[in-house]
Structure 1
Amino acid sequence: MSLRYVCVEVRHNLRCANVFLQFDHSLTETEFLKIVVENDALTFREYSTATRVALGKFFTAEARTISNLTVEECNASFRLTITNEPAQGTADNKENQIDNKRKIYITPKPNIEEGSQHIVLCKNCKCELSTTLQCRRVREFPSGSIDVNEFFCHHGPKFDEVLVPQLTDFFYGFQFVVLNSELSQQQVKMKDKHVYCRRCLQYLGENILNDNAMKLWMDTLLLKCQPNDKDDTIINVVNEKVTPTCQLLHKIIDDTLVTDVAGEPLLQQMHFCKVLLEATFPCRKRKYLLLQVLEKQLQVLRNTKPLAHGSHNNNNVLQVQLEQCKSFKLLYRLLDETEDEGGGDDKRGEKDSGETSSTSSTSSDSMLLKNWKEDMSIHVLKVSPTLFGTLLDELDENALLLPELYRYTHDHFQLSYIFYED
């Protein structure tokens, strides 16, 4: 069977399920394909084989309710009307109640204790990036999403001095650490406020607070523990219980959540928010990812691995069991620094009509990015280039589950998912 991926969006409150299918070749080349909707399964039949996707333990599909059928190249999609099982509806309500009370620790504390001794290492080449750090204070660093000077109406403290860590301080934030620059002056290389490993030239982070401190990305670092009279042990800066991309989306939701005086979220069913992600790459160029989170707890059924050819039983029927997970559903768009600067005007007279159109598109992209930066309601978050690239790759891959008709918007945003365990 040519079916490779199945993704089912389940909305019990609307009594519907959207089914997205991805095949390994264009459906225009398929001579025969029949979709059969049963109460507890979907069956896809070809001439000699069939694939049966079990759905009974998640919901009951109503027969003859298939609608909005779309077929496009390697993708197909349609909508089903479903019947909620009483137990399922009760479980969903309990999940929502638990989720409303659950507080995800967005910025996990690093694997470092006050009073311990550590040396910071480059994760790429294991080169020592600091002298021995006597950790007397381990503190969370301000996120930077809000200017702390705004808390004072007149003559507030000079935060460029107050926030500088001492030689015995280990400050941390979301996916970054902040250390005193004197700890690593001989072990790193500086270029235009960017910090690189002196041995392998891996990009580590940037200088901040008038070059008195360094903000280093956690995904570029390791820690060497130095216990007394024992062998050195190398550990990660933090223990990741969830994937970094999922943790990033949870942070976005947490940062944009509006709560009442009791700390309970307002407008619980409204998950829409906008976020501008910024990353600086080793070449000192910046890229931006414009995100619009549409849903944050969308129930999804899917297969995590491609359906294998030749795995049919004696009746030539491939039995498929889907896994249940939650997902963020969002729109995204990638913009480069050149678009931010609106480059290309100097050569406008030399361009033909096609290139002029490209310049016009670049100008509109530059204006879009400018508007997002100036919008006070849009959260701006700086992330490491590694996390930026990982998130973009995951979005690009998951976007392929959707037909192009649903994948792109008129303003060139792309629709995709970030999946996470329930």
Structure 2
Amino acid sequence: MKIENILIEHFPRLKCANFFILFDTNFDDVSSVRVHLRPTEIFVRFENDHSTTIDLQSLAVRIQINSLSLLIAKENLISFRINIASSFREEILPMQSTMNAASAMKRLSLNVEPDTEFSIVCDNCSGPLSKSLHFRRILELPSEQMDSNEWFCHKPEATTCNGQHQPVFSATSLMPAEDDLLFGNYFALIHRTHIQNIHVNSQQRMIHCKRCLSHIGESVGDSTLKFWNGNIKIIRTNVDTPERLFTDSNSLFHNFLVIVDRVSYDYQMLGRQTLKLLFEARSSKGTTFLFIQTMARNLEIYQMDKHTNTTTDRATMTRVDGIKCLFLCEENTDRTLVEFWQKDVNVVSAHISIGMLDATVEHLHLLSKYVPEQFRMNNGFCLSYLSYGINS
């Protein structure tokens, strides 16, 4: 048997660490597995004397060799807890806080600028969805937690009609004029007159490519269309290769983590402590909700180094960033739970694409396998991690 991956949760203030060791095969044909502790190493030994050493030097801690507890060996997972051999008198805290750099809101960046010429194509079949476009103004929308009444800069210039200035639209609606492109968390709002070769579902108001019928966005009002970044691509003038509208957006799950960072920043600005996230995604089948309850937002997580040489039977650990959380995904769920969360002042809500939600739920389910089944479920919610660095 070989180790597939190792996940370590380190709690410096609690002076303990949780270990989760995944193997490539189950323990069905193995009669015994032994775990031996040393101050900076852990040995996992099987009945055939084959052993693997877990190097803990990257954690910069020494473990208490007589403190192993909660040992569970089931299917292809071994988990246990150990105590750290140190005291609070030995702890050194940094004088300067790095919270400002860590909590800065991540900015969204586009591959187009004002007056850049480009066209929009379907991501699935590359069918054209627009003619050549260029926008005079490209503006970011406020987050869904902000009051849009104060965002007067997004109001287009008034037009003259019979000697009187007439606003093109209500400033509070934040809908784009014909020469505007407004964008939010990996979506763009574009005036209806620019788009062609689409079919709009009259009931759900979903937008589909007329060629391949794939879902590409939603209709917002009578004059505005909303396109999700993962469902379309753009072709810029003098650039033959199609690309995403947003830069650094090849992974839907990575984009989701950026959204989590952004809504967390808004949440911190409001002075709140606990964080619950409610994501909503619409499709032709209905509405799907993703409930996320964060448990540990600044958790020290370590995993087996991807470049570990398995032939030496020695695994080294590397630090990764992540959030420990409980999650629940419900399609067309009972509105009672949704309304209960929406009334909670600690809940931050956001809309995402159905493709992003599906990719996130798949990733959460894969990372939940690190936790033993008896500790994984709680009132229908499943324990997992939000991390781009952990191998799934």
Normalising to structure 1: TM-score of the pair?
Answer: 0.78
Q: Which of 175, 190, 193 does residue 200 from structure 2 map onto?
A: 190
**Are residues 1:124 and 2:124 paired?**
yes
Displacement after TM superposition at 1:21 (Å): 2.0
Contact 2:308 2:316 in 1 (8 A): no
Q: Which of 344, 369, 382 does residue 400 from structure 1 map onto?
A: 369
Displacement after TM superposition at 1:235 (Å): 2.6
Q: Distance in 1 between matches of 2:355 and 2:45?
A: 42
Contact 1:12 1:89 in 2 (8 A): no
Q: Which of 367, 384, 392 does residue 416 from structure 1 map onto?
A: 384
Q: Which of 246, 258, 262 does residue 251 from structure 1 map onto?
A: 262
Deviations 1:204-253 (A, max 9, x none): 11111x22111110111212112xxx464533212227822321321232
Q: Distance in 2 between matches of 1:306 and 1:5?
A: 12
Q: How do 1:16-415 residues align onto structure 2 when only pairs under 5 Å count?
A: 16-27=16-27, 29-46=29-46, 47-58=48-59, 59-83=61-85, 93=94, 97-146=97-146, 148=148, 159=170, 163-184=174-195, 186-192=196-202, 193-208=205-220, 210-226=221-237, 230=238, 232=240, 234-240=242-248, 243-258=254-269, 270=273, 272-281=274-283, 283-303=284-304, 311-313=310-312, 318-337=313-332, 339-340=333-334, 366-409=335-378, 411-415=379-383
Query: Structure 2 unaligned runs (5+)?
Result: 153-167
Displacement after TM superposition at 1:201 (Å): 1.4
Change in 2 beyond 3 A, CA 1:275/1:247: same
Deviations 1:256-306 (A, max 9, x none): 2245xxxxxx57xx5x3111111112x341111111011222111113669
Q: Distance in 2 between matches of 1:161 and 1:379?
A: 21
What is the one-letter code of the residue matched to 1:191? N
Q: Distance in 2 between matches of 1:373 and 1:190?
A: 29
Change in 2 beyond 3 A, CA 1:305/1:285: farther
What is the one-letter code of the residue matched to 1:200? C
Q: Distance in 2 between matches of 1:369 and 1:8?
A: 33
Change in 2 beyond 3 A, CA 1:326/1:102: closer
Deviations 1:13-68 (A, max 9, x none): 22211111223444465212110111111100112300111002312222212122
Q: Distance in 1 between matches of 2:24 and 2:102?
A: 40
What is the one-letter code of the residue matched to 1:205? G
Contact 2:145 2:266 in 1 (8 A): no
What is the one-letter code of the residue matched to 2:73? V
Q: Distance in 2 between matches of 1:2 and 1:421?
A: 21
Displacement after TM superposition at 1:148 (Å): 3.5
SS of the equivalent of 1:322 reads strand
Normalising to structure 2: TM-score of the pair?
Answer: 0.84
Q: Distance in 1 between matches of 2:99 and 2:357?
A: 27
Deviations 1:144-198 (A, max 9, x none): 345646999xxxx9637862212221111111001001111x3211113111112
Equivalent position of 1:347 in the other structure: none
Q: Distance in 2 between matches of 1:105 and 1:388?
A: 22
SS of the equivalent of 2:84 reads strand
Higher helix proportion: 1
SS of the equivalent of 1:238 reads coil
Which is further off, 167-176 or 100-109? 100-109
Q: Distance in 2 between matches of 1:237 and 1:306?
A: 33
SS of the equivalent of 1:100 reads helix
SS of the equivalent of 2:246 reads coil
Contact 1:245 1:390 in 2 (8 A): no
SS of the equivalent of 2:58 reads coil
Residues paired across the two proteins, number: 367
Contact 2:208 2:216 in 1 (8 A): yes
Change in 2 beyond 3 A, CA 1:145/1:215: farther
Q: Distance in 2 between matches of 1:66 and 1:298?
A: 21
Contact 1:39 1:56 in 2 (8 A): no
Identity %, equivalent residues: 22
Change in 2 beyond 3 A, CA 1:378/1:150: farther
Contact 2:234 2:242 in 1 (8 A): yes
Which is further off, 132-141 or 23-32? 23-32
What is the one-letter code of the residue matched to 2:248? E
Query: Structure 1 unaligned runs (5+)?
Result: 260-265, 341-365
Deviations 1:303-334 (A, max 9, x none): 366999xx444xxxx11112211111000011
SS of the equivalent of 1:182 reads helix
Deviations 1:314-360 (A, max 9, x none): xxxx11112211111000011110x33xxxxxxxxxxxxxxxxxxxx
SS of the equivalent of 1:234 reads coil
What is the one-letter code of the residue matched to 1:407? R
Displacement after TM superposition at 1:394 (Å): 0.7
What is the one-letter code of the residue matched to 1:82? I
**Are residues 1:13 and 2:45 paired?**
no
Change in 2 beyond 3 A, CA 1:306/1:374: farther
